[in-house]
Amino acid sequence: MRRREFITLFGGVAAAWPLAARAEVERVRPIGILMGIPETDREAKIWVSAFQKGLQEAGWIESRNIRSEYRWHSDVGSIRTDAAELVRLAPDAILCRGSTALAALRQETQTVPIVFVAVSDPVGQGVVGSLAHPGGNITGFANHEYTMAAKLLETLQEIAPKVSRVAVIHSPSHPLVRTYMSSMERSAPLLGVRLTEAAVRGASDIERALNSFSREPNGGLVVIADNVTNVHRDVIVVLAARHSLPAIFQSRYFTAGGGLASYGSHVGDQFRRAAAYVDRILKGAHPGELPVQQPTKFELVINLKTAKALGLDVPDKLLAIADEVIE
């Protein structure tokens, strides 16, 4: 080969190297996000923004090197359909929110990497082998242990000491209802509280349950976060106010929407941290080797405006430790 031809060939190959490397770096990676709540949900937008920001900080830019497929909706039937659709797209990873969404994905795949957020007691549910060594294709961020249900009951009575009857509002499809109830049933006698279980599937069930429960005095509510109660949280808040029922919730957005109080893990923080796990999986990490993370941020939120409307004086010690007081 002549020297000039060799130089020309070498120059062409050298020029192609960075192009090839750039093409590899900029390969668009598909990921799925199964939310299980309506796209219009105001709090969901905050969660998704936290996740997207985390991905951007890790170098993943939408349409440049990552493509996100979202599925929202709310009822159990649509979640199963959405889970199947996402798996058929063969994404490199799937992020999901909540136990119902995770259960739907588990029925569809044992190979696609899944990162969950806001899932309670994943070991107890049989989702992972252990927190330290999940195994399989699933890891993520636990919401809280079922024993925190008793904390909700205790906090409610601290704010509203006259409450002696408590209705526990939940969806019958929630996988941890029985363990939540067991936790509260152990604490209820010590607090002098009688529990009533109210399983609801929609707005009409919620209205019937609260109308019936409010016929006797000294009632209060503990609302377990799930797909039904999350979607219909405005209905619950309005009815609780109408019937003068002090209510405590597991998520801040209930309280921001007019609920009395909430105590639970910071879901937005979990979405932000989940982005780091998706980043590691896209870079080759196996989900079964990434430990399940426990909550690191909790929120006690108290709505003083609602407390005043209910005629309640929130103890100063609770106001002092509250993460947010809405006035």
State what percent of residues in the chain have pLDDT above 90.
Answer: 68
| Mean pLDDT for the chain overall | 89
**Highest CATH level, class, for 148-265+299-326:** alpha beta
Q: What are phi and psi of 132, to 5 degrees?
A: -75, -35
Return averaged pLDDT per consecutive 10 residues of the chain, 327 residues in all: 46 47 69 90 90 97 96 80 96 94 94 94 89 96 80 95 97 82 93 96 96 97 89 94 96 91 91 97 97 89 97 96 93
**The pLDDT of residue 295:** 85
- CATH label, 28-143+266-296, candidates 3.30.2000.10, 3.40.50.2300, 3.10.450.40, 3.40.50.12280: 3.40.50.2300
Tell me: the pLDDT tens digits for 17-51? 444 444 454 799 999 999 988 888 888 899 999 99
Q: What is the pLDDT of residue 40?
A: 84
Same fold, 28-143+266-296 and 148-265+299-326: yes
In this prediction, residue 104 carries a pLDDT of 92
Q: Where are the beta strands (DSSP E) in the chain?
A: 29-34, 66-71, 93-97, 114-119, 138-142, 165-170, 194-199, 219-223, 247-249, 261-265, 298-303, 324-326
- How far, in Å, CA of 54 to CA of 50, rounded? 6
Contact residues for 288 (Cβ-Cβ < 8 A; gap 6+): 133, 134, 135, 136, 137, 138, 139
Global confidence as pTM: 0.78
Q: How many CB atoms lie within 10 A of CB 292?
A: 23
Residue 66 main-chain phi, psi, to 5 deg: -150, 145
How is residue 299 annotated by DSSP? Answer: E
Domain boundaries, the chain: 28-143+266-296, 148-265+299-326
Angle of helix 42-57 relative to helix 267-282, nearest 10 degrees?
40
